[in-house]
Amino acid sequence: MKTALICGISGQDGSYLAQLLLNKSYRVVGTSRDAQVSSFQNLNSLGIREEVQFESMALNDFRSVLQVVNKVKPDEIYNLAGQTSVGLSFEQPVETMESIAVGTLNLLEVIRFTQQPIKLYNAGSSECFGDTGDRSADEETAFRPRSPYAVSKAAAFWEVANYREAYSLYACSGILFNHDSPLRPKRFVTQKIVLAACRIAVGKLDKLVLGDISIQRDWGWAPDYVEAMYKMMQLDQPEDFVIATGEMHKLQDFVAAVFAYFGLDWQNYVISDRRFFRLTDIASSCGNPQKAKLTLNWEARYKMQAIAKMMVEANLANQACS
C-alpha cells in the first residue's frame, strides 16, 4: 500500500485528490495547521473523512515539516497548501509568499535532507503566465506574474525545477488553469455567481455586483484536474505539465450560462462595478494541454457550460438558495 501525504487536504483539490487516492487503495494522510480543530468540511461532503488520517503541520516551519514527513513516511507528497486567493494576496503578500514559496522550499529541503525516495507534486498556477492574449500558454511559455500570489507560485515552480535538476529529486509541477467544483469556497467568483443566481431565482436577492466581467479564463472541472496530478506522479521521470481545457470564455459567458439555467436574462440582474476591479487583473488566460494529452493520456472531460450546470445543480441539491 502506497502512502500519500496531502498538504492542503481541506481545500477543493485536496479533498477530491484524497477521494481519488483512496479509491486506488492508498493510505492517505492530510495536513492542517491544527488538525485537531479543523472541520475538514469538504471531506465530510465527500463522505471520506473517516478514511483519512490527519497530522498538524506548519509548512513555513522546517522542523514541523521534517517531523511529519519522518512520522508518516510517505511515498508521494502532494503540495496543495498555501494562500489560494489572488485578490487576498494583494492584502496579505507576505503571508502569501511564506505559505507558498517558503512552504514549497521546506518540503524540497526535507526530501533532500532525509534522502528518502519521496515523489513531490507541486501545485503550480496559470497565474504565473499573466495575460496570454490570443495565444494558449504551454510548458515553454515565459512567466509574467501580475499578483503577489502569481509571484509566489512562480518562485515555487522554479524551486521545484532547481531541486529536480540539482539533486535529482522526483519533483514536478502541474501548471493548472482555473478549475471549479461545488467544493470551491464561496469567496471565489464562480461560487458567488452561482449562489446569487440561485437566490435571485427564488426572490431572495435583487442584484449581483461583480468586477470586470469581460475577463477571459480557461475553466475546468476540479475532479478532472486531480486525475492529472496523480498521472504526473506515476511517470518514470518527473516532468511539468500545463493542465487546462484549451478553451477560453468570458466571465460574462459563465454568468449567462448560470442565469440561463433558471430561465433568467443575466443583464437584468448583474452590475459590473469598477470598485471591484483588481489592481492588475489578467484580461485573457488560456492553456494548451497538448503535452498532457500526449504524455499522460489526460484530457479535460468537462468544459465551461457543463461546469456551470453542475455547480448550479449541486447548490440546489444542497439547498444553498434557502
Q: Say if residue 169 is in the same domain as residue 22.
A: yes
pLDDT at 243: 98
The domain that contains 188 carries what CATH number? 3.90.25.10
Question: pLDDT grade, residue 18 (50/70/90)?
Answer: very high
Q: Say if residue 28 is in the same domain as residue 154.
A: yes
Q: Say if residue 69 is in the same domain as residue 172.
A: yes
Per the structure, the count of domains in the chain is: 2
Q: Is the pLDDT of residue 321 over 80?
A: no
> Are the CB atoms for 18 and 12 separated by under 8 Å?
no
Q: What is the mean pLDDT of the chain?
A: 94
Residue 232 in any domain: the answer is: yes
pLDDT (mean) for 127-133: 95
Query: What are φ and ψ of residue 238, in 5° steps?
Result: -75, 140
Task: Out of 89, 99, 125, 181, pick the active-site residue.
Answer: 125
Residues of the chain above pLDDT 70, percent? 98
Q: Is the pLDDT of residue 83 over 90?
A: no
Q: Say if residue 92 is in the same domain as residue 71.
A: yes
Task: Out of 55, 76, 127, 227, pick the active-site residue.
Answer: 127
Task: Out of 16, 26, 121, 149, pick the active-site residue.
Answer: 149
Query: CA-based angle 113:15:144, to the nearest 5?
Result: 65
Q: Is 51 a catalytic residue?
A: no
Q: Is 127 a catalytic residue?
A: yes
Q: Say if residue 140 is in the same domain as residue 261.
A: no
pLDDT at 274: 80
Residue 290 in any domain: the answer is: no
Question: pLDDT grade, residue 320 (50/70/90)?
Answer: low
Q: Say if residue 192 is in the same domain as residue 274.
A: yes
SS3 string of the chain? CCEEEEECCCCHHHHHHHHHHHHCCCEEEEEECCCCCCCCHHHHHHCCHHHCEEEECCCCCHHHHHHHHHHHCCCEEEECCCCCCHHHHHHCHHHHHHHHHHHHHHHHHHHHHHCCCCEEEEEEEHHHHCCCCCCCECCCCCCCCCCHHHHHHHHHHHHHHHHHHHHCCCEEEEEECCEECCCCCCCCHHHHHHHHHHHHHCCCCCCEEECCCCCEECCEEHHHHHHHHHHHCCCCCCCCEEECCCCCEEHHHHHHHHHHHCCCCHHHCEEECHHHCCCCCCCECCECCHHHHHHHCCCCCCCHHHHHHHHHHHHHHCCCCC
Residue 268 in any domain: the answer is: yes
pLDDT (mean) for 145-163: 96
pLDDT (mean) for 69-86: 94
Residue 295 in any domain: the answer is: no
More confident position, 91 or 227: 227
pLDDT (mean) for 85-113: 93
Q: Say if residue 169 is in the same domain as residue 268.
A: no
The domain that contains 59 carries what CATH number? 3.40.50.720
Residues of the chain above pLDDT 90, percent? 86
Residue 294 in any domain: the answer is: no
Q: Say if residue 170 is in the same domain as residue 66.
A: yes
pLDDT (mean) for 64-74: 98
Q: How far is CA 308 from CA 133, 177, 198, 253, 268, in A?
A: 24, 16, 12, 10, 19
Residue 293 in any domain: the answer is: no
Q: Say if residue 192 is in the same domain as residue 164.
A: no
Q: Is 125 a catalytic residue?
A: yes
Q: Say if residue 209 is in the same domain as residue 68.
A: no
Q: Say if residue 211 is in the same domain as residue 139.
A: no
- Residue 288 one-letter amino acid: N
Residue 292 in any domain: the answer is: no
Environment class of 50 (CB within 10 Å of its CB; exposed 0-12, middle 13-18, buried 19+): exposed
pLDDT (mean) for 38-43: 90
Please state, in angstroms and rounded to a whole number, the distance separating the CA atoms of residues 118 and 34.
24
Q: Say if residue 190 is in the same domain as residue 307.
A: yes
Residue 291 in any domain: the answer is: no
Domain that holds residue 111: 3-179+220-243
